[in-house]
Amino acid sequence: MSLSIKPKLRLIDLIRNSIVFVGRMVQLDKLIHKNMDIKTKLRLAFGLLFAVVLSFGGISFYYMNKIAQSSTNILKDNYESLSYASKMRKILDENPLPLTPVLADQFSVVLNKEQSNITEVGERGAVSALSEAYNVIIDSNTSLSTKQKALEKARIQIRIIEEANMNAVVRKNTEAQEGGQKAANYLILAASICFILLFSLAVNLPDLVAKSQK
């Protein structure tokens, strides 16, 4: 319940702050309007409006780009490693020892790909240990009992690789959601400020025109 309320409270705070900001700008305008003609006032109003839209648009673009980059990293780094781990686990689980040359070559190809895709903390050590265990498994001079022990070690290291990448997927997904929420908040804030500025301009424009004609 508290998790769903917090974003709403932050959004309310943003809107409230935007109203306070615009209110202060209106007060500032009242202090200096006597020394400014209508053209200057209009330029100032539209310039401020443009600056607000540009700044918040840039901030929103930054967070949207961050979300897209995070999604790309998840696909490239973590899902590929999870796919490699699944393929290696399948070879070890579905085939008896000793592995045939064809299966050994298949495992070696996938392992090399995983070695080139290490991205998470603890993954490098697990891949290194997995490679050592694999070398024992395919060693023709090693006894079957020793290969069985190496097989269990290999399965443990594959599990560590899977856990490291699954945790990374969860973390990056959470960061992407938080970035999306921030972008949405900034867009709403920008829209609120623009609406208030436009409304204020629409209300005050007739008076400005009337005063300029006197």
Taken in order of first residue, the domains within the chain and their CATH numbers are 38-213 (1.20.120)
**Which pair of tokens denotes residue 19?**
């109203």
For the chain, residues with pLDDT lower than 50 are 1-5, 8
The candidate with the shortest Cα–Cα distance to 191, out of 53, 19, 47, 8, is 53
Reading the block at residue 141, the tokens are 């001079």
pLDDT attached to residue 1: 41
**pTM confidence score:** 0.62
Question: What is d(CA 173, CA 61) in angstroms, rounded to the nearest whole number?
Answer: 18
Amino acid at site 101: P
Q: Please, are residues 193 and 16 in contact by the beta-carbon 8 Å criterion? A: no
Both tokens of 175, joined, read: 């960061």
